[in-house]
Every structure is written in C-alpha cells, then in structure tokens.
C-alpha cells in the first residue's frame, strides 16, 4: 500500500529531476522484471490457470465465462503483487491483457461491506477507452452484483452525471477533465478511494494540462491507497513522474522498450501525391482480404469526406471523430466492436488502448 504524503511544495507539478532512485528497466533488480517476450499478445499465456491467484469464486466464474483459460504474461507478472495491494507500474503493449490486471485485482480486494462509496478510481485519456474499461468491469462483476461501475467523460451534460452518481458506484472510471469537474462541483467524493489507477498513464502525464488535472484529483484521494499505472510505452521521464505518485512500486516491463513494432505485424508504405490517395485506398480495400479495417486520418473534415467517398463506393464504412456528439461516438465504437461495420474512419481517438480484436488492417 502506498503511504505517500504530498507536501505543500508538491502542489506544483512534479518536475523531472526528482530524487527518486531511478532504476532502469534493463538493470538487474529484484523488483523489476524486464521481460522480453514475443508480443504475439494474449497468445503468450502461462501453463498455469487463473486458479493460482486464489481469486474470489465469483471472479473465477466470470473469468471462465469470458473464455480466459490462462493468464497472459502481463497478468502472470502483475496480478500477484496487485492483489496484495502493492503499487504497480507496468509497461506492456496494447492487447496483452493489462485491463484485466487492475479490474481483477481491485474487484478481488473489494469488500462487501464497503457499500456505496467510490473505492476504485480509474482515469484514462479517451472516452472510448474509459467506456471499454467499464465494459471489462461489467464482465467481471457478473457474479458480484453488489459491485457497480460507472463511467464519466466530457461531452455529456454534467446533470446526467449528477443524476447517475447520486448513488455512487464502487468503481468510477473517467477522463481527467470531467472527473476533476465533478470533484470541484462536490458531485463525487474520493475520501474512500483505496485504488487509484491510471491506464495509458503516459498519455495523461505527458500533457501538462491533463497531468495537472490528474494531480489535483490525486490530492482529493486519501494518502493510504494502492496506486497502479499502466502504459504501452513509458519514457524514462514519464516513469520518473509516475513514481512520484507511488510508494515502492512493483515495476513490470514487458518487451524491449526500444522496439516499437509488434512482432507479426507487417508494415508497408506507398509514396503518393495527395490527389492519388483516395483512388489507391479504394483499390487496396477492393483487393485486400480484410476482416475489419481502421483508417486513421488527421482531421475531422478528412474523416467526413473519406467516409462519404467510401460509402458512395458501397464500402461498409462508418466514421468517428472528437467533435462528434458523445452518444454517437460511443454508438460508433459499439457498432464497430460488434462487427456492425467492416471499416472505421477515425481521427486519433482510437490510437491507444482501444481493442478491436477483429481488425487486421490499419491505414495511417
């Protein structure tokens, strides 16, 4: 458990040259497992089953309902420490099962008599990812019906959240801006928080305004709590910042940080003039045998225009972007996740952490 006491001087943002004992992931340390595993994601599983973690029976049942047979490497490495309430800093690529680490461990530690207080707070940088985390909590609370999880994010009227949170859930997931707003308005109370979790923490801690929000939220939580942070990438700088929120964390680094590409992933590029791009894309979509495709574009206008073009060419395409109405944005996410459309044109909302398991081709 963390016993971090933030002092007055720490009201300012943490700076980078802290006095924390920096330990490089590649250095030998009892606490650090710098594992180099093939990143064929979830397929890298352990012989042992989930039974070894001695989780609650209700969780074991939900795990087997989800069809999870063996823990993935990140789960194998992190869950034992996490279920003891230890602080955790974990870097592992998307798709390796990081979400289940904090979902299972917090649910396992949650006690029945904790009642109607927010005891676990999860922050992440995008609304889609927040929603995806909610779904993971919902899956695993199938037999823990007294535990509720709720999600909050911008783009939705605050009055809606106020109504929803009149009965506080034990788990609150949200984006930093909205969560801070709700704290400032006195709509949520974090006095009972025991687990403070940042998913894709670098995305929040690298952006000064978001980091500021995260820090203010953190200060509204009790000193004694478990802090867990996860990220697909973690620079030395951000790692230092993360550790300022923690007390003697277990550090787990899966995969060589310098390696930016996933094994098994093939990348191609074509040099094209702007005017040739649409035609080439349509030709590729015609000739490639894809399951689901995501096409990333840089602007909202381009997303709309490309989606219209694809629709006019009779491709099953939908699009999503930041300025879209929030309900619609989640609706698009759900449609695509459920295979309701084969092609998604998106601005970088889905760039990190969001898991569409059927996608096998991505255009940038």
Which spans of this chain sit near ligand AMP (rule: CB under 6 A)?
42, 68, 71-72, 75, 94-100, 355, 357
- Shorter beta-carbon distance to ligand AMP: residue 71 or 169: 71
- Find the shortest distance in angstroms from Cβ 126 to ligand AMP: 13
Distance (Å, whole) CA 45 – CA 41 = 9
- Shorter beta-carbon distance to ligand AMP: residue 45 or 300: 45
- Shorter beta-carbon distance to ligand AMP: residue 190 or 356: 356
Selection from 151, 154, 137 nearest residue 213 by Cα = 154
Q: Is the dihedral of CA 8, 11, 17, 20 positive or negative?
A: positive
- Find the shortest distance in angstroms from Cβ 98 to ligand AMP: 5
Let me know: does 191 contact 166? Beta carbons within 8 Å: no
- Shorter beta-carbon distance to ligand AMP: residue 41 or 307: 41
Region class of 154: left (phi > 0), else alpha (psi between -120 and 50), else beta: beta
- Find the shortest distance in angstroms from Cβ 302 to ligand AMP: 27
Instruction: Map residue 109 onto helix, strand or coil.
Output: helix
- Find the shortest distance in angstroms from Cβ 65 to ligand AMP: 12
- Find the shortest distance in angstroms from Cβ 7 to ligand AMP: 35
- Find the shortest distance in angstroms from Cβ 113 to ligand AMP: 29
Selection from 228, 201, 232 nearest residue 94 by Cα = 232
- Shorter beta-carbon distance to ligand AMP: residue 331 or 355: 355
- Shorter beta-carbon distance to ligand AMP: residue 69 or 325: 69
Give me the half-sphere count of Cα atoms (radius 13 Å) on the Cβ side of residue 36: 6
- What are 305-313's contacts with CB under 8 Å, separation 24+? 306/278, 306/281, 306/345, 307/345, 309/278, 309/282, 310/282, 310/285, 310/343, 310/345, 313/282
Name the DSSP letter for residue 13: P
Compute how many other C-beta atoms are within 10 angstroms of the C-beta atom of residue 234: 23
Let me know: does 217 contact 71? Beta carbons within 8 Å: no
- Shorter beta-carbon distance to ligand AMP: residue 66 or 272: 66
- Find the shortest distance in angstroms from Cβ 114 to ligand AMP: 25
């Amino acid at each position: 458990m963390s016993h971090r006491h933030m002092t007055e001087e720490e009201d300012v943002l943490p700076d980078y040259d802290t006095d924390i004992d920096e330990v490089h992931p590649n250095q030998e340390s009892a606490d650090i497992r710098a594992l180099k595993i093939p990143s064929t994601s979830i397929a890298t599983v352990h012989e042992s089953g989930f039974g070894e973690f001695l989780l609650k029976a209700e969780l074991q049942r939900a795990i087997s309902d989800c069809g999870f047979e063996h823990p993935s490497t990140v789960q194998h490495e992190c869950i034992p420490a996490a279920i003891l309430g230890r602080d955790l800093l974990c870097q592992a690529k998307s798709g390796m099962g990081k979400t289940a680490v904090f979902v299972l461990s917090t649910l396992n530690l949650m006690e029945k008599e904790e009642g109607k207080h927010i005891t676990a707070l999860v922050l992440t940088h995008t609304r889609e990812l927040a929603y995806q985390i909610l779904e993971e909590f919902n899956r695993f609370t199938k037999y823990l019906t007294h535990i509720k999880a709720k999600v909050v994010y911008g783009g939705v009227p605050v009055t809606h959240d106020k109504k929803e949170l009149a009965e506080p859930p034990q788990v609150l997931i949200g984006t930093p801006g909205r969560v801070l707003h709700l704290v400032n308005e006195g709509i949520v109370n974090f006095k009972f928080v025991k687990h403070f979790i940042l998913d894709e923490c670098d995305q929040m801690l690298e952006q000064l305004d978001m980091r500021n929000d995260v820090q203010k939220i953190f200060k509204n939580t009790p000193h004694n709590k478990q802090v867990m942070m996860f990220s697909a990438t973690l620079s030395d700088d951000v790692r230092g910042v993360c550790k300022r929120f923690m007390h003697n964390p277990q550090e787990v680094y899966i995969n060589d940080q310098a390696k930016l590409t996933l094994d098994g992933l093939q990348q191609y590029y074509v040099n094209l003039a702007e005017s040739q791009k649409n035609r080439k894309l349509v030709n590729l979509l015609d000739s490639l045998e894809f399951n689901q495709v995501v096409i990333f574009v840089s602007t909202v206008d381009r997303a709309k225009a490309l989606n219209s073009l694809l629709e006019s060419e009779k491709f099953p395409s939908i699009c999503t972007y930041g300025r879209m109405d929030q309900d619609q944005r989640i609706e698009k996410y759900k449609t695509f996740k459920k295979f309701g459309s084969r092609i998604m044109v998106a601005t970088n909302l889905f760039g990190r952490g969001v898991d569409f398991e059927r996608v096998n081709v991505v255009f940038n």
